[in-house]
Structure 1
Amino acid sequence: MPLTKPEATDVRPIVDPAELETITDLYDRVQWLSSWTIHHANNIRESRDGLKVGGHQASSASLAAIMCALYFGVLQPEDRVAVKPHASPVFHAIQYLFGKQTRDQLERFRALGGAQSYPSRTKDIDDVDFSTGSVGLGVAMTAFASMVQDHLIDRGLVSADKAGRMIALMGDAELDEGNIYEALIEGYKHNLRNCWWVIDYNRQSLDSITSDRMFTRFTDIFETTGWKVINIKYGKKQQAAFKRPGGIALRDWIDACPNTLYSALTYKGGAAWRDRLMADIGSKRGVKKLLDGYSDDALQTLMTNLGGHDIELLLETFRSIDSDQPHCFICYTVKGYGLPFQGHKDNHSGLMNPSQMAELQAQMGVPEGREWEPFAGMEDKAAHLENFLKKVPFNQPATRRHDAPTLKLEDALEPVTGKQSTQVAFGKIMNALGKGTSPLADRIITTSPDVTVSTNLGGWVNQRGIYSRDLMEDVFKAEKVVSPQIWQGHGKGQHMELGIAENNLFLALAAMGLSGSLFGERLIPVGTLYDPFINRGLDALNYACYQDARFMLVATPSGLTLAPEGGAHQSIHTPVIGMAQDKLVYFEPAYTDELAAIMAWGFDYMQQPDGSSIYLRLSTRALAQPERDGDAWQADLLKGAYWEHTPEEGAELAIIYTGAVAPEANAALQEILEDVPGAGLMAVPSPDLLHKDWSESVRSLGRDGVRRESHIGRLLSGLSPNAGIVTVIDGAPTTLSWIGGVKGHRTMPLGVDEFGQSGDIDDLYDRYRIGTDAILDACASVFTAR
């Protein structure tokens, strides 16, 4: 257990002995309930499929004391916590004692409709602040939530005296996740504050004991990025032992002991500790006498009395923090603490067997048949404990989830005329919003990972400024150096500039998109990035959507259409990601009037209870804009598709396209109309909405005996049953290929399913067979095959 000597700390507040006894009693009950919940799911609840349910008893036990100290004695209602995924049972047990979780939910832990395996904002009924699951993301999320809180405070939307601490309870193995260090760097840039990361340093990962080498570096890493690091290593029993003769030698042995050996001895128990200590340091002055003063059981208690299990020490340490500097607490713990398999390297997914559980039940004094009662066997203390819980600050009747008012877009978004790309049109629409004074525009916050200008957000930033806690002068402007960009930073700026790390982008969007619920003040986040690099942050994007955060993701440029950039920047399968990702609606407009209508709809949809986030896949290709006959087409557009050229009744052929290939699809139609006069051309600006609607109609079959027609079904109903369909997109052909299954039409899907290369648009469209000639060839194939 290598570690430099602990730093001297400020005088810590004394913990009232009566309060300490109460929280210790609650800790015992939390340990029992979390272990019992997992045991019940695996050994008592009926199992129809025979699968192991799991639940991580060991990982829960290592964090239980830390969580009890925080929830019962430190946290305030405005604090927000991301709980280590594998400590979910501890969280649910604490919420159960608070009266915010039900017995039914605990009995159905990891079953349909029950308490979730990992804390979930959207699926758990208790008060989850941040979902966790994919390790590292919940940790970094707290940093961005703190930045969002500062943004709201600096804009005068939230009172500074209501600032809460954004706290992550993390496993030490999460420190292997790279996104944590990306977040540390970004936090340093933005002068992060009011953020705590509490590390459950049990030194065991899923597969093995963690490396000794890294620990001494963690303090350096955190301090380099502006954090205060506090090591909570020795419990009070150990500290007292160190003051006795032989104690210094014992402490030095602990500091030098490898993690693997310490874990193995923890599992083996007091006699093993004694043998090893006597072999290694028994000859040193005072050591034998010191060890003789402990029975084997007492020696085991002493050697496992690490700081992360000492509730008094934890309360003192957490309560001593009186600054808003970010703090990292490295809490030494034992994985599986207090359970039969504590310290064993294989205990991560281990479960107590029935006899071990019965022994724990007897030890905890829980009568058989009353396992779910909060204070069974503690009747003499029950009234006091219930009264204490009612007065815990974190359990006060405060609103921790807010309903922020919906913001309306007062004026329609005007499409950009002339030959334009959707990427440029997006920038012009945002620039116009920035010049306006609508309440919605005032709550927009944009962000981008170092591609603000190249994704056409520069005009918006010029209008609204960059968010910075410190005033940041545009030196180029002050020095009269000509530049179209005005990079002025101030506390009311509405653009948060990020480094080139896509994980940070999606975590920032997640925090911004939850601002209404977390802080009571809604933001309308708009984030931009290059479309192919959605893949680099895909885990974080999925995490943001899982939390039901609301934002508009604008990805541009996209596809082969980017031409000279080559395969590294030409996205292929992002449309499929957009369709497959839950809580995200994907659009790929070809024209600027489509884009304007989609953005106006999207800003509203993002705020609706049954809404979601929006993904716009835009292009750099400038297209001539169509002349429209009225705006009736917009209603169909916002259902996913509309007939750009309506086919005749019983038509034998239709071309269906998405996005930048609109000119090729139109050109092919014009040639086809000479031979197939009734052919139609369908624009699909949202394959996602279209597919979701059709999928719902399929799922509804047999549900109530009524067949509900989908939007795409209605659009295709005028075609001949023998008609052929050609679909085309600058992306994965599977994006549209499913349309043939709606009515059973023969379908030829065109698209891109291999890495692109550099070239011009005509050459690449011809090479990858999505140009006009390819569309005509496909039309001939499906038409002649009738």
Structure 2
Amino acid sequence: MKTTDDMTGTAPATDADARRNGGQDLKTLTAVEQRVLWLATSVIDHANRVRPNPSGLKVGGHQASSASMTSIMTALWFHELGRDDRVSVKPHASPVLHAVNYLLGELDESYLTTLRSYGGLQSYPSREKDPDPVDYSTGSVGIGATAPIWGAIARRYVNGRFGGGSSGRQYSLLGDAELDEGACWEAVLDPAVTDLGEIVWIVDFNRQSLDRVVPNISATRLQGMFDAAGWQVITVKYGRLLEELFARPDGDALRARIDEMTNPEYQRLLRCSAEQLRERLPGSGPGQKAIAQLLAGLDDDSVVNLLRNLGGHDLGALIDAYSRIDDTRPTVVFAYTVKGHGLPTAGHPQNHSALLTGEQMQELAARVGADADAPWARFQPGSAEAELCERTAAKLRRQDAPPQQPPALPADFGRTPSGKGSTQQALGRALLDLTRQAPEAAGHVVTVCPDVASTTNLGGWLNKVGTWSATQRRDWFDDDAETILHWREQPAGQHIELGIAETNLVGLLGELGATWSRWGTPLLPIGVVYDPFVGRALEPWSFGMYAGGQSILVGTPSGVSLAPEGGAHQSVITPSIGLEQPGCTAYEPAFALDLEWCLLAGLANLGKAGGSSTYLRLSTRPVDQALAAVPDDSAARERRRRQSVAGGYLLRRHENPSLTIAAAGVMVTEALTAADRLEGLGVGADVVCVTSPDLLFRAVQARQGLQDGPDWILDQTFPRERARPLVTVLDGHPHTLAFLAGINEVPARALGVTGFGQSGNLADVHRHHGIDADGIVAAALDLAD
């Protein structure tokens, strides 16, 4: 057996290796791998040991997690990737990504000393904040791993409808512990994923989590789960040195021993000396004697290194695995690795956040051919390594398409709804109106649902535009006269139906909302979900906005006004979520026309630099549209529209008010009823229709100089000369509107829902929570007294 040339367990490359791998010079590639390891480790070292830290707070970084991925990423970038491929890098390996980008000339040297500093390299890969190319923002476990799946669908959608999108694979690099996240399996199992042959997940299978060696993690079980989902499964378990040992006499006994070994025992052996390994590795099974004899023929260095020679650190084995990806179905590659490979902390159960000492950094530099006094040195010009970096950079450099301007959108369809109707019904009508009045803009709309299209009033839109599918599929019910909802699945469809998983819905929304920055084609994505499940979808949707995805999320039906459906389907905290979520404007319109105006305003903010997302909280409760009292005069109507889109308007003005009632959403009906009853009691009340607590709060912050933005809406909705005691009411948590009392510093009562709901008719449920007209009247009288 050949000995290794350092402690990493990586065999020296030979000419035979080069021929086996299509002429790729593995010796050169190994030198690049070692430099990547050094740079990634040094970036973290500088942030923690060298850079001044006046606060004394931990800076952090993950040298062991980065080392675990170095071979995988070196083989991928410097051998496999093409220009159109995209890669999502596991969060704790961000220093490896920056090291690779630095060697490719995509990152200035000045940034290597800025990891986790203000304005520097981010803690985890960020499309929006990092100075070098990042394909997918990661950091929230499970979300970055699944993002390339939704990116693949978004790209196919753009290509099918508009053309001009790129091709190429969509890679996810993730740790094995990340597979604990349910988001991963929700994505793997979604029916829309089965045909995405461009999806490749590479699992860094080091069998360690943050705290410990995971005792019962089973590659066999995980491989079976992917296989059952229709994925191609490739396993890279052992490196060339171990495979050569297995081929020797008695090698089968050694393979069986390692295969059957528990994870903790294997990890403990990584920390053993040669003498200890000769004693412990043979075990006590039937192969004990054969393994001992095999080890007796090896020198001490080879004994120590053999267990470290796993497939995830063997460049030749990795390149071979990448070559076997068949592109006809999603693929997962299980690459067995050692956490901290190549570092003194390799395999230690508590190495997750461990940092090398200064002495250990000096030793690492000497071993990998780096200079500790000049840590950021690139390869010598003209060297084989420098030429490999130059060729790779030229191969991967992209010419991003210039972003197109999103299509023009009307601000008002000019129609005034009448009769009774809900805001949920109005959503479906507004989308159909868009196809008639602004067909180009409607052509850029794509709706997404987790199996709730019909119950959220998208049926008419779906029948009009069809359902998206990568291939044309026959609608077997197209000749059934009793079938109302038609699933015409075709590449030109504009509705994407997913399985029942809100995480998948918003993951796809984020990627559909990022196509303007990826391929220059703006989409106007709208996702519809039951409002109680906005909380379930919040983290990935929020992360999608952080990564630059702009979309509209519709939560409907909402609140306890759902009534007989039951307490489990009643949302309480979502108005507060809308107020607090960065990068998003939240609306809760009361009337159909308000919904139309706010929807059009939200669509106009999508698909462009500086754009933002929108959350619409809608209801199934029918409301008399005449209560909106929409002005007939065109100028007055436009004034009402501007106020509605800005956060609210004075719906009813009393000649001599004693108080103000501010209501959001469907509770405006109760507010108006209460105002009528108070009038009979000699208590006059103004009624304010709040369409966006979010925008009103921003206006308050702007007035106080705490953020930039307009505050004119406060003067028109809560004018100081009409400041009176205030009752606020909404079908949600009362603190959402409680801040309104501070606009003019008036006494206030905040009504809303503070407990779990239950089934019941609307009157009973509203009475139970104290948000019916009786509750408003009582609160108003308390203030009036």
TM-score when normalising by structure 2 = 0.92
Deviations 1:78-102 (A, max 9, x none): 1111111111111111112222223
Residue 699 of structure 2 is matched in structure 1 by: 693
Residue 585 (structure 1) shift: 1.2
Describe the SS at the equivalent of 2:624: coil
**Mean Cα displacement is larger for which, 665-674 or 199-208?**
665-674
Give yes or no for the alignment of 1:461 onto 2:468. no
Indicate if the aligned counterparts of 1:465 and 1:488 stay in contact, CA closer than 8 A.
Answer: yes
Higher mean C-alpha displacement, 519-528 vs 174-183: 519-528
Distance 1:23 1:12 in 2: 10
Structure 2 partner of 1:95? 101
Q: More deviation in 81-90 or 414-423?
A: 414-423
How far the C-alpha of 1:521 sits from its partner, in A, is 2.4
2:427 is paired with a residue whose SS is helix
Kept in 2, the 8 Å contact 1:121–1:128? The answer is yes
Matching residue of 2:196: 192
Q: Residues 720, 592 of structure 1: CA spacing in aligned structure 2 closer, same or farther, 3 A cutoff?
A: closer
- Opposite residue 419 of structure 2, the aligned amino acid is G
Aligned in 2, Cα 1:108/1:140: closer, same or farther, shift over 3 Å?
same
Aligned 8 A contact 2:195 2:329 in 1? no
> Quick check: 1:738 aligned with 2:744?
no
8 Å CA contact 1:336–1:342 kept in 2: the answer is yes
Which of 370, 375, 391 is equivalent to 1:366?
Answer: 370
1:603 maps to: 603
**Equivalent residue number for residue 580 of structure 1:** 580
| Gap regions ≥5 residues in structure 1 | 1-10
Query: Shift of residue 213 of structure 1?
Result: 5.5
- Point out the more displaced range, 633-642 or 286-295: 286-295
Equivalents in 2 of 1:126, 1:401: separation in Å? 18
Q: CA deviation at 1:264?
A: 0.9
The reply on whether 1:665 has 2:671 as its aligned counterpart is yes
Relative distance call for 1:272 and 1:676 in structure 2 (3 A) is farther
For 1:635, the aligned partner's letter is: R
Aligned to 1:225: 229
Partner of 2:511: 511
Give 1:439 deviation, angstroms. 1.5
1:3 paired residue number: none
Deviations for 1:534-589, whole angstroms, at most 9, x for unmatched residues? 12222222222221211111111111111111211111010111111111211000
Residue 325 (str. 1) matches residue 329 (str. 2): yes
| 2:42 counterpart (36, 52, 59) | 36
Is the contact between residue 473 and residue 488 of structure 1 (CA under 8 Å) also seen in structure 2? yes
Q: Deviations over 1:53-100 (max 9, x none)?
A: 211111111011101111111111211111111111111111122222
My pick for the range that moved more, 146-155 or 172-181, is 146-155
User: Counterpart of 1:140 in 2: which secondary structure?
Assistant: helix
Counterpart secondary structure, 2:671: helix
Within 2, Cα distance between the matches of 1:193 and 1:597? 41
Pair 1:165 & 2:169 matched: yes
CA contact (8 A) 1:647 1:654 kept: no
Whole-angstrom distance in 2 between the partners of 1:640 and 1:558: 19
Cα distance between partner residues in 1 of 2:468 and 2:65? 39
| 1:730–1:751 Cα contact (<8 Å) kept | yes
SS at match of 1:152: helix
Q: Which moved more, 1:55-64 or 1:264-273?
A: 264-273
Aligned position for 1:496: 496
Map 1:269-418 to 2 at 5 A: 269-278=273-282, 280=284, 287-288=291-292, 290-375=294-379, 379=380, 383-392=383-392, 396-400=396-400, 403-409=403-409, 412-413=412-413, 414-418=415-419
Which piece of structure 1 moves more, 305-314 or 396-405?
A: 396-405
2:774 maps to 1:770: no
* Equivalent residue, structure 2, for 1:644: 651
Greater CA drift, 109-118 or 40-49 = 40-49
CA distance in 2, matches of 1:724, 1:605: 36
1:138-165 residue CA offsets vs partner (Å, 9 max, x unmatched) = 1222112222222233335246xx4121
Question: Which whole-Å deviations, capped at 9, do the CAs of 1:692-739 have from their partners, x for residues lacking one?
Answer: 2322443548x9xxx985632664343456x31111111110110011
Q: How does 1:718-757 map to 2 (within 5 A)?
A: 718-719=720-721, 723-757=724-758
Identical-pair percentage: 37
SS at match of 1:318: helix
Query: Contact (CA 8 Å) 1:72, 1:394: kept in 2 or not?
Result: no
Amino acid at match of 2:278: R
Q: Is the 8 A contact 2:84 2:169 kept in 1?
A: yes
Amino acid at match of 1:589: P
1:278 CA displacement: 4.3
Structure 1 residues 653 and 23: CA distance shift in structure 2, 3 A = same
Q: Does residue 716 in structure 1 map to residue 701 in structure 2?
A: no
- C-alpha deviation, 1:211, in angstroms: 3.7
| TM-fit CA distance, 1:279 | 5.0
Task: Tell me the CA shift for residue 674 of structure 1.
Answer: 5.9
Q: Secondary structure at the match of 2:704?
A: helix
State the secondary structure of the residue aligned to 1:146.
helix
CA RMSD of aligned residues (A): 2.6
Cα deviation digits, residues 2-30 of structure 1 (max 9, x gap): xxxxxxxxx99833666322222221111
**Contact kept in structure 1, 2:269 and 2:281, CA below 8 Å:** no
Check the 8 A contact 1:555/1:615 in 2, yes or no: yes
2:158 maps to amino acid: L
Name which of structure 1's ranges 672-681 and 417-426 shifts more when overlaid on structure 2.
Answer: 672-681
CA distance in 2, matches of 1:391, 1:217: 40
Query: Residue 171 of structure 2 contacts residue 200 of structure 2 at CA under 8 Å; is this kept in 1?
Result: yes
2:268 is equivalent to residue 264 of structure 1: yes
Paired letter, 2:397: P
Q: Give, in whole Å, the separation in 2 of the partners of 1:299 and 1:520.
A: 55
Equivalence for 1:82:
88
**Match of 1:638, SS?**
helix
Q: Judging changes above 3 Å, is the alpha-carbon distance between structure 1 residues 713 and 116 closer, same or farther for their aligned structure 2 residues?
A: farther
| CA drift at 1:673 | 4.5
Partner of 1:569: 569
User: Cα offset for 1:511?
Assistant: 1.8
Cα distance in 2 between the residues matched to 1:102 and 1:304: 34
Distance 2:169 2:767 in 1: 56
* 1:303-341 CA distance string (max 9 Å, x none): 211110011221232134353321110000000001111
Distance 1:417 1:166 in 2: 49
Q: CA deviation at 1:369?
A: 3.0
Q: Deviations over 1:730-780 (max 9, x none)?
A: 111011001112332212111111111122222222221112222122222
8 Å Cα contact 2:658/2:683 also seen in 1:
no
Report 1:143-162 matches (<5 A): 143-155=149-161, 157-158=163-164, 162=166
Gaps of 5+ in 2: 1-16
Q: Note if contact 1:751-1:769 (Cα within 8 Å) is conserved in structure 2.
A: yes
User: What is the match of residue 641 of structure 2?
Assistant: 634
Check the 8 A contact 2:191/2:498 in 1, yes or no.
no
Q: Which amino acid aligns with 1:529?
A: V
Q: Determine if contact 1:647/1:718 at 8 Å carries over to the other structure.
A: no
Deviation at 1:481, TM superposition (A): 4.1
Counterpart amino acid of 1:291? L
Query: In 1, distance between residues paired with 2:509 and 2:283?
Result: 56
Deviation digits for residues 28-66 of structure 1, max 9, x if unmatched? 111111111111112222222222221111111101110
* Residue 144 to residue 110, structure 1, CA distance change in 2 (3 Å): same
TM-score, normalised with respect to structure 1:
0.91
